[in-house]
Structure 1
């Protein structure tokens, strides 16, 4: 027995030693790609020395005599800190994910290839002016310089992920940077899916009920359209139920209700306590580790620029210079239209146009797939745009037999000069110059909030489609592609895009809300990303005669839900303090407890309180009870509560109270009945998940920010290293927005929020502040992988200074690039 124990002990010690050696080897290989921020390199393709000074937060301040060398330095810094992220963005745009991930990403690659994103980016290079081409080439050269150093010095393949996946990295090219902005357009556009869902709803519901479920943003506009009537006689859709599966984390296509959101607001000098203009901006995107954002300062010949960049592009997308500041919010311009194209029954290679049948433009593309044979796909285009696969966004559910769906989209152009506009913007010195520079911007459409030394402005930038006044659906649902009146007539003049300069009230802002009301076809959109946050923002702005940097920070971090304050009195009007006394442990008693604490709640979505959790679960259960019997499988498309829908139902607007009656039951249920049942549903779910004691429930336990690594985040053990999870306040409709996932076992996880926050005070520019949601580095072993995320979660910031001496004084390392002798 002793001998067996002795050998078992030896075996255990041997296995422990081997495990320790394996961990040590993995750590050594991974740590080889950690960046040394104090180093000198001799590199080609620069005209003079370049300094990359990194502050204690890992923010690079890049100095050089020539602008092209500054862009070179930014490419070098981006590649050092975010090489894997850049390669993934490029692979996504090229439709080449399946080469390393296999069949799981095949559908993503197929769709990207059909859109021809990378081909459009390649052809757009020739559309740039000479200065932009020089900047793109210099940036690419900087990225490639770091790639050469990684290979020559064996620096761990540049990132730990390349030990798990293919280490082959092609040189960076100017087209790659243009492709990245096209990926951003994908992530910020949702009108395509909105058209499909509206069409599917109109196949099930009467027009007035579609108006309830998918309400227009308040203001005049079309309420609903009858898709079945428009397509009458064309045949039935191919499928009757959902055909798309769960969204892969690597897919750049957003969920319908996660298509982009942001806040930006500005105050003129007369509304500023210190007498200088103020600007705050927090663009919202899907959370990830690392964040999509990267902080940087560029010392250009026109002056210093600092703010948020996206690795892969040589531009500061949101930030400030000494003279101007600018912020971005998604404009929700209706820049996508679906067209139902009729096939020639005698020749399926032709489709109907206003001038008769014409052949599709076609091409083939080969997709290489890891561990599987390659596939060749046939790509087709009509005059309206690319033909999309029938499974994408459930297009098969609304496409008649003998027809195909094609997409028109402003982003699908081979003359995309959006980066050219961004580079010009960085050199502007007044709001007028910024607006003039943005004329070259194409997509994704944005509201650009601008301040200079003495004025403020807001301009919608990006191409807005020009539609015929007699358009069948006005862009609301798919229309017949062979009718001339449905086709786009080009784009609207840039001067007609909404513009507000130096308003009399001295305050401008946008929370993705509707900014202007104009009749079709001069409208911007019928649906927007916000009808709720703007109400709270307006109150905070009007509560003060003058604002300060701190009041803008306070607004940016505000967690009070206007929606909760407005909805609870409606849905609980007949429930407050009613009902018989109930004993402990009964559902009735639990309901009474919940209603008592909710009656005293001020709507603050604090992570430390139970009320936000009860409120969120109640409204979610309520909407589900209202729509599930009418919509059937289509209910799965409505993952988030629509406040305007609930308001219409509980106010019985145009008979919307009929939603409260359950069709399959004999009794006629009232809205009070459904509200009470939904509250009980929510309380049962919460009790099972978080225990029976209401006082122990916490919103932050459910509303956890999920900064997950897109690839390694699902691997056991590794996930604990690469994923960043944080308890957070806020919610779907608060200014400090934390959009919930809306589905799955954790429907209230915070998955879409402000990855960047900036507040710029032009009375004292060096007191300006910014922060990002994770850290500068994409390397999990770096201290800069999550250091800024700690501040972000607490609502704290770091200084934003353009003073070179302050950058040098706070430096933790300087990388010097010296030109190689020829």
Structure 2
């Protein structure tokens, strides 16, 4: 027995030793790709020495004698810190993920091939100006210089992920950067999903009820639309009966409601305490580890520019120069239209046009799949754009037999000078120069908030489609592509894009809210990203005669929900402090306790409080109760509460209170009945999922910001090393926006928000502040993988100066690239 125990101990010790040895080997191999920052290297591709000074947050300050050398340096540092991220984005836009991940990414590759973005990017290279082509070539040379080091010195394959997946990396090309900008357009586009949902709802409900559940933004309404089914000739059309598929792996197109957001505002000198302009910006995107943003400073011939870049592109997308700042928000321009295409019954390779049946343009493409035979796709384009398969976006549910669905989109063009516009914006010195530089910008459409030393402005950039005023559906639901009035003409001129310069009140801003109220087709959009945050922003801006950098930070971090303050008095109007006393543990007592907490709450979505969780659970359950009997399975598409819909119901606007009556029941339920039952639903969910007393609940335990690694984030064991989780305040409708997942075991998980924040004060430009949601490095073993994330969670920042001596004083490393002797 003693010998058996001894051998067991030896065996366990051997296994432990083996595990330690394996972990040590894994760590050793992975750590080989950690970049060395304090070094001098001879490098081909530059004309003069380049100095890369990294401050204590690992933010590179890139200094060189020529702009081409500076862009080379940016490519070099992007590859050092974010090589895996860059290669993933390139493979995504090329439609080549399945070569690495197998059949699970096949649908994602199919979408990108059908959109043909990489070919369009290749064609757009010829339309860039000489300055931009030089920047793209220099940037690509910088990336490739680092790749050459990885290959020659066996630097852990460049990133740990390449040990698990293919490490075949082709050289970076200028077209790759153009393609990644187009990929950003895919990630910020949401009008297509809105068209599909509106069409589905219009097939299920009368028009007045569609206006309830998919309400227009408050303001002047829109003329009634035709019934979707009435757009087809002849007998009632037949639609497919199919289930909506789960989103494929690494699908780049956002879910409805996740197509980018953002805040941006500025104050003129007369509204600034220090007498200089102020600008604040926090673009909202889906969280990831690492963040999509990478902080950098470039010293160009036009002057220094500092702010947020996106690895893969030679651009500072949001930031400042010495006297000019620019921020971006999603504009919500309606730049997509779905078109029904009638197939020729005698030849399915033709579609009906205003001039009769015309051939569909076709081209074959081969998708290579890891460990499987390749698949050949036939890409189809009509005069309106690419045909999308019926199993994407649920298109089969709204496409009648004998028809197909095509997509018109401003992004789908070779004549795209957006990269040149971005390079020009970095070189602008004034607001007016910034507006002029963005004239050639096409897609993705953005709202630029700008400030120079004495002027503030806001300008929508991006090509506005030229629609006909007689368009049958106004682009809100798919329209027949054979009707001339539904087709796009020449785009509107840049002067038609909304523009606001030096407003009389001295303050302007955008929270993705409705900014103009022009009639169709110059309307810009019917779908906007916010009707709530803007109300809180207006109150905060008007509460002070003058603002400071700190007051702008306070506004960025404000977690008060106007939505909660508006809806709770409406929904609970007949419930507050009513009912007889009830013993502890009964549903009646639980309801009274919850109402007591909410009655004394100010609407602050604070991570340490229980009220935000009770409120969010209640309103979510309430919307579900209101819509599920009318919409049935379609109710699953409404993953987030629409405050305008709930307010319409509880104010009985245009008879909307009818939603409170349950169709299938004999009784007539009131809105108070539904509010009470929904509160019971919410409290039951909380007891099953949270437990404990209501007072001990904590919003931040459920509203955790989850920065997930795009590939390894769901892999057991590894996910604990590569994912970043942070308890956060805020919510769907607060300025400190943390958009909840809306689905899954925890629908309140924070998955989309301000991954970058910047505050620029032009009375003292070097006091400007920046932060991102994770860190500069994409390497999980780097201390810079998540070091900025803790600052971000606490609402703190890191300074970034254009003074090179300040950067050198706090440098953690200086890389000197010198030309290799010929």
Aligned residue in 1 for 2:172 = 172
Aligned partner of 1:472 in structure 2 is 472
The match for 2:690 is 690
Partner of residue 77, structure 1? 77
Task: Report the alpha carbon displacement of residue 800 of structure 1 after superposing the two structures with TM.
Answer: 2.0
Q: Could you tell me how far apart the structure 1 residues matched to 2:242 and 2:698 are? A: 37
User: Once the 2 structures are TM-superposed, how far is the Cα of residue 233 of structure 1 from its aligned partner?
Assistant: 2.8
How do residues 729-768 of structure 1 correspond to structure 2 at under 5 angstroms?
729-768=729-768
Matched residue, 2:503: 503
Contact 1:234/1:400, CA 8 A, preserved across alignment: no
**Per-residue Cα deviation, 1:694-733 (whole angstroms, up to 9, x for no partner):** 0110000100000010111111111111000010000000
Matched residue SS, 2:348: strand
1:323 to partner: Cα distance: 1.5
Alpha-carbon distance in 2 for matches of 1:605, 1:197:
30
Aligned to 1:312: 312
Q: Is structure 2 residue 645 aligned with structure 1 residue 645?
A: yes
Point out where structure 1 has 5 or more consecutive residues left out of the alignment. Answer: none
User: Given the alignment of the two structures, is residue 810 of structure 1 paired with residue 810 of structure 2, yes or no?
Assistant: yes
Query: Counterparts in 2 of 1:531-542, with a 5 A limit?
Result: 531-542=531-542
Matches within 5 A, 1:57-68: 57-68=57-68
245 and 232 in structure 1: CA distance in 2 versus 1, 3 angstrom threshold: farther
How many angstroms apart in 2 are the aligned matches of 1:185 and 1:91?
A: 16
> Alpha-carbon deviations, 1:515-570, whole Å to 9, x = none?
11101111100110000000000000000000000000000000000100011000
Contact 1:770/1:797 (<8 A) preserved? yes
Q: Does the residue aligned with 2:125 lie in a helix, a strand or coil?
A: helix
Q: CA deviation at 1:370?
A: 1.2
| RMSD over equivalenced CA pairs, Å | 0.9
Other-structure match for 2:353: 353
Aligned to 2:601: 601
Give the aligned partner of residue 706 of structure 1. 706
Q: Distance in 2 between matches of 1:377 and 1:6?
A: 63
Q: Which residue of structure 2 aligns with residue 244 of structure 1?
A: 245
1:615 aligns with 2:615: yes
TM-score by length of 1: 0.99
Give SS of 1:757's match: strand
1:397 aligns with 2:397: yes
Which secondary structure state, in structure 1, belongs to the residue aligned with residue 812 of structure 2?
strand
- Cα distance 1:486–1:93, how it changes in 2: closer, same or farther (>3 A)? same
Partner of residue 555, structure 2? 555
Map of 1:295 onto structure 2: 295
Matches within 5 A, 1:329-408: 329-408=329-408
Distance, in Å, in 2 between the alignment partners of 1:715 and 1:496 is 49
- Deviation readout 1:325-366 (Å, 9 max, x if unpaired): 000000000000000000000001100001111110000110
The DSSP-based 3-state class of the residue aligned with 1:714 is coil
- Within the alignment, does 1:147 sit opposite 2:142 as a pair? no
Map Cα deviations across residues 570-599 of structure 1 (whole Å, 9 max, x no partner): 000000000111101001000000000100
Aligned partner of residue 157 in structure 2, secondary structure: helix
In 2, the alpha carbon distance for the partners of 1:16 and 1:467 equals 69
Separation in 2, partners of 1:490, 1:161: 46
Aligned residue in 2 for 1:529: 529
What's 2:819 paired with?
819
The alpha carbon displacement at 1:241 in A equals 4.1
Paired residues of 1:192 and 1:337 also in contact (CA < 8 A):
yes
Note the C-alpha offset of 1:187. Answer: 1.0
Residue of structure 2 in register with 1:29 after alignment: 29
Q: In the TM superposition, what is the alpha-carbon distance from 1:157 to its structure 2 partner?
A: 0.5
The answer to whether the Cα contact below 8 Å between 1:242 and 1:633 also exists between their aligned partners in 2 is: no
How far the C-alpha of 1:238 sits from its partner, in A, is 3.6
The answer to whether the 8 Å contact 1:650/1:671 transfers is yes
Match of 1:228 in 2: 229
Unaligned stretches of 5+ residues in structure 2 = none
1:442 partnered with 2:424? no
Query: 2: CA distance between counterparts of 1:591 and 1:232?
Result: 54
**What's the TM-score, normalizing by structure 2?**
0.99
- Matches of 2:284 and 2:453 in 1, distance apart? 27
CA distance in 1, matches of 2:240, 2:748: 31
Q: Does 1:801 align with 2:801?
A: yes
Change (3 A) 1:221 1:467: farther
Counterpart position of 2:14: 14
CA distance in 2, matches of 1:649, 1:33: 57
Does residue 575 of structure 2 align to residue 575 of structure 1? yes
Contact 1:338 1:408 in 2 (8 A): yes
- The 3-state SS of whatever aligns with 1:451 is strand
Q: Is the 8 A contact 1:268 1:506 kept in 2?
A: yes
Asked if structure 2 preserves the Cα contact closer than 8 Å seen for 1:235 and 1:400, the reply is no
Q: Is the 8 A contact 1:234 1:401 kept in 2?
A: no
SS in structure 2 of the partner of residue 713 of structure 1: coil
The equivalences for 1:448-463 within 5 A come to: 448-463=448-463
Distance in 2, matches of 1:229 and 1:8, equals 77
2:200 counterpart residue number = 200
Quote the Cα distance in structure 2 between the aligned partners of 1:339 and 1:781: 48
Please state how far the C-alpha of 1:19 moved relative to its aligned partner: 0.6
Q: Secondary structure at the match of 2:450?
A: strand
| CA deviation map 1:37-56 (0-9, x unaligned) | 10111111111000111000
Per the TM alignment, residue 247 of structure 1 is displaced from its structure 2 partner at its CA by 4.8
SS in 2 for 1:574: coil
1:690 Cα deviation (Å)?
1.1
Aligned equivalents of 1:237, 1:366: Cα separation in 2: 33
1:226-251 superposed Cα distances (whole Å, 9 cap, x missing partner): 21222353653442343322453x11
The CA deviation at 1:612 is 0.2
CA contact (8 A) 1:211 1:223 kept: no
Instruction: Please state if 1:724 is matched with 2:724.
Output: yes
CA contact (8 A) 2:626 2:660 kept: yes
The 2-side partners of 1:223 and 1:216 are apart by 11
Supply the distance in 2 between the matched residues of 1:243 and 1:547 (Cα, whole angstroms).
Answer: 49
* Range moving further from structure 2, 639-648 or 220-229: 220-229
Deviation at 1:692, TM superposition (A): 3.5
Q: Distance in 1 between matches of 2:292 and 2:236?
A: 44
Contact kept in structure 2, 1:282 and 1:757, CA below 8 Å: yes
Partners of 1:237 and 1:396 within 8 A in 2: no
CA contact (8 A) 1:272 1:547 kept: yes
Output the CA distance in 2 between the equivalents of 1:281 and 1:217.
23
Q: How many Å separate the matches in 2 of 1:290 and 1:274?
A: 36
CA shift, 1:415, in A, is 1.5
Contact between 1:237 and 1:397, CA under 8 Å: does it hold in 2? no
Query: What does the per-residue CA deviation read over 1:742-777, in whole Å, with 9 as the maximum and x for residues that have no partner?
Result: 001010000001000000000000110010000000
